[in-house]
Structure 1
Amino acid sequence: MSRSVSCNADSPCAGSKIGGCNVAQLGRLRREFLKVRPGWRGLCLLCFALLMQPIWVDDVSDPRLADYRDVRDADLRRKRGLFMAEGRFVVDVLLRDSRYAPDSFFLNPKSFEVLEPVINECGGDAPVYVAKQEVFSDVVGFDMHRGCLAVGNVGEALGFEVLIAQAAKEASLVIVVEGLRNTENLGGIFRNAMAFGASAVLMCPESCDPLYRKAIRVSMGGTLCIPFAQVTSWPAGLSRLRDAGFQLVALDLADDAIPLDELGLRIVPDRPVALLLGTEGRGISEAALDQVDHAVRIPMAPGVDSLNVATASGIAMHAVFAGNGGSNSKPGAPK
């Protein structure tokens, strides 16, 4: 099947014709198809998709590809409220499992062939730009063999209070990070959170952005489907977790921290847990540690004083997950 193109009324292609209709009319037609009774909807969408074509691009300087041309994450976020998803698996997560709406797609022919069904089903009216691999690489500025990018709309941030209320109701695990500025580590934490059923990730104001491209890629799309929020009042805001019924557990290297394998004896079953993580070097601040109920450490061989924070988070999340009998809630936010 072929994929639709989409333009606003002021764009140069808004009056172009496809199958006897202009693009703006086809956009409205697609929205009407979505109102059709479910029994007929699939047939209607199939007919609609057959009328449409992707936008083939062979000019590296095409202005419609500006978002994909040597653009830094911070520029996308600050200027336009967008983020970049990279790779077929991550783009599939963006479309099927996230609350974010795609703004556009930029694909090589193979990626378009693979993703066309899910784009037709979940891509809305976002335009799909397709280019040969050599043109694709020239646009993005390096040889990206995956040949698959999508720009998404950030939308409104989720509220801290809303997330902890939902997690408390489900008695699920929440991850809290302090001072984490490395996007790869943050992405790894989100990937672990997805694997072990954490329902949300909460961050101090100093932590990096989960919607930076590298964080999204390393998380395998976890930052797109696990809801997150910033705790603006830090570390005083941690008290709100306790007020909501959470047991606060921190990973710490202190000698008096209890071994991780004893945590199951200390926490109360059927009550939600908030797991607090800090950086490898500085660790968790004393002010934040003052808020926790239990400080735990991961036993290690002599001479080894720490683990990478993403690695340590996975070990700790598994301990909580296994202690709950593998029953943490499936992550997800209202779409």
Structure 2
Amino acid sequence: MVEDPADPRIAGYRDARDGELRRREGLFLAEGRLLVRRLLEASRFPVQSLLVTPPALDDLRDLLADDDSTPVHVASAETIRAVVGFKFHRGCLALGVRGEPRAPETLMDPVGPRTLLALEGVTDPDNVGAVFRNAAAFGAAGVLLSSHCADPLYRKAIRVSMGATLSLPFAQASDWPAVLAALRHAGYRLVALCPAAEAEDIVEVAARVPRRPRLALLLGAEGAGLSGTTRGAADVEVRIPMAAGIDSLNVAAACGIALHRLA
């Protein structure tokens, strides 16, 4: 039982901040029983250690019974709050290891039907997490992100995604035009979601899209939208019809509608 917040065994959790964990340690933080369970069960990321309250440890015993290699530190909720530096009430934390980032091309399977999401400039971790949750729900194969997108492994993004960022493949790209060109070369149809009046109605486009298509759905941030370069690379621009006086949707809501219609 860890009783001292200064205990060196839990130094990695001390005043844990997403940016610092990423920069200095190559780690990320998962918070809460559900997300820690998903990290242990279905994640592609190794687990460095766990920091849990006694009740949370009881909930995770089935997953830890055959694992004697992952350090599990047990402490009271009060001790954990003193360590992490933020309000803590979910019972457990885990440090995951990021590993080497994936190359975007590894997501572009050369054959078969497949849907990918391509996010440009989506900087809000809540939106990134919600997009990943939609992607998992509608069977997308992976997510590509431009370099200015929020990190899918930020604590808030993991939480909003309900753990989808831990299991769904993703890659961040420094050369976005090259990624769009690679998608086209791999045989993907590039579909840009855009509120512009000249964009085609998504209902009409969906009627022409074959069942189980091979497409990349391009999504931009609220407000700024997709860049001219990305819009110019698209095979088709589609819009979601809305009531008079409403010109746009939250990117995650629009993503869910588009995936339901097109994927």
TM-score under structure 2 length normalisation: 0.95
Task: Indicate the SS of the match to 2:89.
Answer: coil
Of 223, 229, 232, the match for 2:165: 223
Matched, 1:179 2:124: no
Give the 3 Å change call, closer, same or farther, for CA 60–270 of structure 1 in structure 2.
Answer: closer
Matched, 1:290 2:229: no
Q: CA deviation at 1:266?
A: 3.3
Of 128, 142, 145, the match for 2:72: 128
Q: Could you say which structure has the larger radius of gyration?
A: 1
In structure 2, the residue matched to 1:234 is: 176
In structure 1, the residue matched to 2:85 is: 141
In structure 2, the residue matched to 1:151 is: 95
In structure 1, the residue matched to 2:253 is: 311
Q: CA deviation at 1:265?
A: 2.9
Paired residues for 1:51-66 under 5 Å: 56-66=1-11
Q: CA deviation at 1:124?
A: 5.6
CA distance in 2, matches of 1:60, 1:205: 36
57-66 vs 105-114, greater mean Cα deviation: 57-66
1:197-221: per-residue Cα shift (whole Å, max 9, x none)? Answer: 1111001111121111111111111
CA distance in 1, matches of 2:230, 2:210: 21
In structure 1, the residue matched to 2:148 is: 206
Q: CA RMSD in A?
A: 1.4
Gaps of 5+ in 2: none
Paired residues for 1:35-114 under 5 Å: 56-114=1-59
CA distance in 1, matches of 2:223, 2:257: 19
In structure 2, the residue matched to 1:44 is: none
In structure 2, the residue matched to 1:257 is: 199
CA distance in 1, matches of 2:22, 2:188: 32
Query: How many matched pairs?
Result: 263
CA distance in 2, matches of 1:111, 1:91: 10
1:35-92: per-residue Cα shift (whole Å, max 9, x none)? Answer: xxxxxxxxxxxxxxxxxxxxx1111111221221212111111111111011111111
C-alpha contact (below 8 Å) 1:260/1:298 kept by paired residues? yes
Give the 3 Å change call, closer, same or farther, for CA 273–134 of structure 1 in structure 2.
Answer: same
Larger strand share, 1 or 2:
2
1:253-291: per-residue Cα shift (whole Å, max 9, x none)? Answer: 110111111122333445411000001101001110111
In structure 2, the residue matched to 1:4 is: none
C-alpha contact (below 8 Å) 2:16/2:85 kept by paired residues? no
Amino acid at match of 1:62: D
In structure 1, the residue matched to 2:208 is: 266
Structure with greater contact order relative to length (CA < 8 Å, sep ≥ 6): 2
C-alpha contact (below 8 Å) 1:136/1:147 kept by paired residues? no
Q: Return structure 1 stretches of 4+ with deviation > 6 angstroms.
A: none
CA distance in 2, matches of 1:88, 1:180: 28
Q: CA deviation at 1:236?
A: 3.4
CA distance in 1, matches of 2:18, 2:52: 19
CA distance in 2, matches of 1:216, 1:119: 22
CA distance in 1, matches of 2:24, 2:155: 16
C-alpha contact (below 8 Å) 1:105/1:126 kept by paired residues? yes
Task: Indicate the SS of the match to 1:169.
Answer: coil
Amino acid at match of 1:179: G
CA distance in 1, matches of 2:11, 2:119: 34
Gaps of 5+ in 1: 1-55, 322-335
Matched, 1:118 2:63: yes
Amino acid at match of 1:194: A
C-alpha contact (below 8 Å) 2:115/2:213 kept by paired residues? no
